[in-house]
Amino acid sequence: MVQSVRPRRPARPAADRSAPAAQRCRWHALADGAALQQAAVEWIVAAAAAAVGARGQFHLVLAGGETPRGVYQGLRQVATDWRTWHIYFGDERCLAPDDAARNSRMAGQAWLDHVPIPAAQVHVIPAELGAVAAAQAYAASLGGVGDFDLVLLGLGEDGHTASLFPGHDWGTAPGAPDALAVGDAPKPPAGRVSLSAARLSRARQVLFLVAGTGKGGALADWRSGKTIPARSIAPPAGVDVLLAVRCRTDAAARSG
């Protein structure tokens, strides 16, 4: 049931065969991509206010890809105490730090370079080191970080989220590392680093942003209960999905 919106190469490891925890999912339909972006900005601002009010800090994990770009641009205009924000990344491509295809560079150009979040509080994945070394370094840097306040994620046409791809290890098993090295991603570049499903699930809120064409098959699989990477993210409070109506219609046509 759709609800109204309320802001709130290294060798591939053996695929993780343990069943992910059951995911509770709330679906929110938006008229189009612009409405989705506005709703996401409002959701992030509300989550930041709640976190700062309760704990004095806001710990936010960013998604990559094109859908969040407009969201990040919208955050430039937010009136907030940026000194309380701590930024992390759900995944990164193993490219040079200034490569435009890096998630950190996109987020910087769209938003982070334009607001006074202290540099020490923007925790970039050092993916230029290579997948294995970067995953180890990022996992170590997260050692003292508790639950994230809000995790932003997207959805790929194959059901992937962050850089957790079908047929790969998603990091759902007990004791899974916080960050995974991906050496053979099915889309370029092959080398990537991703937070594990277990670490992404250690969050007070998880918000998926789903827009664009070609997502109908993945959405139909997700909503029918099939095991795709996006379903492996299972925080205690469940996940929320902001869904542009075009995607929703595509999914309905695919399933019908």
38, 134, 187, 223, 255 from 194: Cα distances, Å: 27, 10, 14, 24, 30
What's the pLDDT at 184? Answer: 95
Question: Per residue of the chain (256 residues), what is the pLDDT tens digit?
Answer: 444 454 444 344 444 444 556 899 999 999 999 999 999 999 999 999 999 999 999 999 999 988 999 999 999 999 999 999 999 999 999 999 999 999 999 999 999 999 999 999 999 999 999 999 999 999 999 999 999 999 999 999 999 999 999 999 999 998 999 999 999 999 999 999 999 999 999 999 999 999 988 999 999 999 999 999 999 999 999 999 999 976 554 444 444 4
What's the pLDDT at 212? Answer: 84
What's the pLDDT at 194? Answer: 98
- 3-state SS, one letter per residue, for the chain: CEECCCCCCCCCCCCCCCCCCCCCEEEEEECCHHHHHHHHHHHHHHHHHHHHHHHCCEEEEECCCCHHHHHHHHHCCCCCCHHHEEEEECEEECCCCCCCCCHHHHHHHHCHHHCCCCHHHECCCCHHHCHHHHHHHHHHHCCCCCCECEEEECCCCCCCECCECCCCCCCCCCCCCCEEEECCCCCCCCCEEEECHHHHCCECCEEEEECCCCCHHHHHHHHCCCCCHHHHCCCCCCEEEEEEHHHHHHHHHHHC
26-255: CATH, from 3.40.50.1360, 2.60.40.1240, 3.90.650.10, 3.30.300.30:
3.40.50.1360
What's the pLDDT at 50? Answer: 98
- 60 close to 92: Cβ distance less than 8 angstroms: no
